[in-house]
Chain A
Amino acid sequence: MKPGVWGSAAVALLVANMAYAAEVAPNDVKVEDGTVAQSLTGNPGDPEMGAKALANRGLGNCLACHAVSALESEQFHGDVAPPLDGVADRWQPEQLRAIVVDAKKVFGPESVMPGFYSLEVGINVRKDLVGKPILTAQQVEDVVAYLSTLKEGD
């Protein structure tokens, strides 16, 4: 076989691997200085999907603790944690991504906020959820995209 054939086979394999590896696994996410610089998926987040994941009680359920005026059609917003109105004025998307991924790595270990893309969780995790984060990588990106629309400053 000619070296050229080997070469193109290797490139094809590399491309396939890159496509697969584009999604960062929970244990491989690096939180540095309170930020996660790179998208977890390489794909842009969808703010509309993010609003749904944020409100859905089986997904983010963020309204359990945070109020969001823009989602007032959803009943009962909690006040355990600060309202998210204007959150994009206070944090850059890279910071919001880090907070959603694992708030304890941003605010410290005493934070009550769950890590939505972290496997550093509590004991006795329900068997069918072992090794699984609360949100998928794409859902994290979608939520970050939605949060980035919550501006009051202008």
Chain B
Amino acid sequence: MSKRFLAPVFAMVGGLVLAFSANADPVDEELVIDDIPMVTRAAAPEGHPFDEVLSGWLFREAETRETEADSFANPGMLAVERGADIWNTVEGSAGKSCASCHDDAATSMKSVGAQYPKWDAEAKRPINIELQIDKCRVENMGAEPYKFDAEGQVALTSYIKHQSLGTPVKMDLSDGELQDWWEKGKELYYTRTGQLNFACASCHEDSMGKYIRADHLSQGQANGFPTYRFNTGGMVSLHNRFRGCIRDTRAEMPKAFSDELMALEVYVTWRGTGLSVETPAVRQ
């Protein structure tokens, strides 16, 4: 096709997008995965800026929503299956696998992922699933901690969080000093970064439901992480996403699992209180 013919086609696409942009509400649909109904809308906890917390699933295109709703079609389930293999594989000097102590994850890890981050009394800081895995590997298995975003770290985290599929997110902020970290995370959520001068809240609170280019801005919830993303064709961990968002403001990125990003994880996870864990969610 010549450029002369293509031009009107692109013009039409542009026009359609403009038309769609006018109707930018999250969809009013039910999400059921493996016969488990997901809570995608929940009354917000006290002190939340919104009345209702909304799963990012409600903001995605129909094809993306359908892919997440069908575990056979969801490419993120490959990471979950890989995580199951790792769960049962002996590693480290102690000759143990995860299963050596925790047996069947379907029982021992049920609903666990919905309660993290928790307070790590020894380290005196919050601990998420990734760091809890590392702690087990080092202290109990005699294995090396994972490098950030190592394939095994993302797969095992996905597998463990998937055992909470459908369970509403519920952290215990009275655990240790989590409340202080929540405060710190809240401050960061509203702090503008980078040359573009955006805070998390600029997009996910002030502009929620609107479009940035083709991207429908959600509340930026953490309940589906790690998620499968079509545009990179792979899994994306929560701290990878945090870093990506901060990079997009043209700022230096904090390190994964740094104090800043752990505080942000505590606060952002709390903002999704009541939403079902959807790991592995599917995004565009």
A123 touches B21 (CB 8 A): no
B251 interface hit (Cβ, 8 Å): yes
Q: Shortest distance in angstroms between B246's beta carbon and chain A's nearest beta carbon?
A: 8
Indicate if the CB atoms of B196 and A79 lie closer than 8 Å.
Answer: no
A123–B199 alpha-carbon span in the complex (Å): 10
In the complex, the answer to whether A77 meets B212 with C-beta atoms within 8 Å is: no
Please tell me if the beta carbons of B213 and A76 are within 8 angstroms of each other in the complex.
yes
Task: Contact check, B212 vs A122: say whether CB atoms are below 8 A apart.
Answer: no
Q: How far is the CA of A36 from the CA of B103 in the complex (A)?
A: 69
In the complex, which residue of chain A has the Cβ closest to the Cβ of B10? Answer: A73
**Complex: how many Å from CA A120 to CA B197?**
8
Give the chain B neighbours of A127 by CB distance below 8 A: 252
Categorize the interface residue count of chain B: 35 or more
Kindly identify which residue among B18, B194, B207 contacts A112, using a CB–CB cutoff of 8 Å. B207
If the complex has contacts A122-B191, A126-B252, are A77 and B10 also in contact, measured as CB distance less than 8 A? no
Q: A122 near B213 (CB under 8 angstroms)?
A: no
A64 at interface, CB cutoff 8 A: yes
A69 surroundings in chain B (CB, below 8 A): 18
CB pair A126–B195 under 8 Å, yes or no, is: yes
**Chain B residues whose C-beta falls within 8 Å of the C-beta of A18 in the assembled complex:** none
Task: Verify B196–A122 contact, CB threshold 8 A.
Answer: yes
Contact in complex: B17, A75 (CB < 8 Å): yes
Judge if A53 is at the interface, Cβ distance under 8 Å. no
Q: Give which listed residue, A64, A72, A77, A120, contacts B21 with CB less than 8 A.
A: A77
**Quick one: CB contact mask for A65-103 with B, threshold 8 Å, 1 for yes?**
101010011111111100000000000000000000000
**CA of A67 to CA of B194, assembled, Å:** 24
A112 CB contacts on chain B under 8 angstroms: 198, 202-203, 206-207
Q: Which chain B residues numbered 39 to 55 have a C-beta less than 8 Å away from chain A?
A: none
Chain B residues contacting A123 (CB-CB under 8 Å) are 191-194, 251
Give Cα A63 to B7, complex, Å: 19
**B212–A80 CB distance below 8 A:** yes
B250 within 8 A of A: yes
List, in ascending order, chain A residues with CB within 8 A of B246's CB.
Answer: 124
Contacting A at CB under 8 A, from B191-231, are 191-199, 202-203, 206-207, 210-214, 217
- Asked whether, in the complex, the Cβ of B193 is within 8 Å of the Cβ of A124, the reply is yes
Contacts of A132 in B (CB 8 A): 195
Q: Is the CB of A64 within 8 A of B212?
A: yes
Interface flag for A115 (CB, 8 Å): yes
A127 vs B195: C-alpha distance when bound (angstroms): 10
Q: How far is the CA of A75 from the CA of B7 in the complex (A)?
A: 11
Interface string of A122-134 (1 = CB under 8 A from B): 1111110100101
Bound: A129/B249 CA distance, A: 11
Question: In the complex the two chains form, what is the Cα distance from A64 to B249 in whole Å?
Answer: 13
CB of A114 within 8 Å of the partner chain: yes
B244: CB under 8 A from chain A? Answer: no
Alpha-carbon gap, A64 to B203, bound state (A) = 12
Task: Decide yes or no: A134 and B196 within 8 Å by CB, A72-B15, A77-B14, A126-B250 being known contacts.
Answer: yes
Given A75-B13, A126-B195, A134-B195, 13 further pairs, Cβ under 8 A: A63-B213, A69-B18, A72-B18, A78-B212, A78-B213, A80-B212, A112-B198, A112-B202, A122-B191, A122-B197, A122-B249, A126-B252, A132-B195
A residues whose Cβ falls under 8 Å from a Cβ of B? 63-65, 67, 69, 72-80, 110, 112, 114-115, 120-127, 129, 132, 134
B interface with A by C-beta (< 8 Å) = 7, 10-11, 13-15, 17-18, 21-22, 24, 191-199, 202-203, 206-207, 210-214, 217, 246, 249-252, 254
